[in-house]
Amino acid sequence: MTETPLTIAPDMAVEDAIQLMLRDQISGLPVVENGTLVGIVTASDILKAFLEVTGASTPGSIRINLLLKDTQNLVEVTQIIHAVNCEVLAVGTYEEPVSHRRAYFLRIAGADAAKATAALRQKGYSLL
């Protein structure tokens, strides 16, 4: 413990809190408002938030990773997914490590999730 711990305000963005925790290699931050301790954010809290934001905490959901061609777009991807009675819970991007191209991930839920991947492949989408 330190006498003057690093603290954050209740309205600080999660991403900013994560940056502080990583920078200072700490696993928790006191949350202070008007000089009063109102909570503590821990690494476990951050991990739970990550699962919520990415939709991964939804039972039965699956993650689809794909690369888009110049003629393809996410609007059509979501339409294909909805056409097989699935719901898009989250969308994100990352750099695909092999091709160094922008890849997309979608977390989807629904009884026909396997049909969604098949339908995307049938329409020419490259699933990773």
Q: What is the pLDDT of residues 25-67, one digit of tens each?
A: 999 999 999 999 999 999 999 999 999 989 999 999 999 999 9
What tokens appear for 117 in the block?
Answer: 């991947």
Distance CA 19, CA 5 (A): 16
Residues 29 and 85 in one domain: no
- With b for 16 or more beta-carbon neighbours within 10 A and e for fewer, the 91-111 pattern comes to beeeeeeeeeeebbbbbbbbe
- Cβ 106 vs Cβ 90: under 8 Å: yes
Q: Identify the DSSP state of 27.
A: S
Residues 30 and 69 in one domain: no
- Residues 58-92 have pLDDT tens digits of 999 999 999 998 889 999 999 999 999 999 999 99
Residue 65 is assigned to a structural domain of this protein: yes
The residue range of the domain holding 105 is: 58-127
The closest alpha carbon to 22, from 12, 11, 14, 33, belongs to 14
The number of domains in the chain is 2
pTM for the whole structure: 0.76
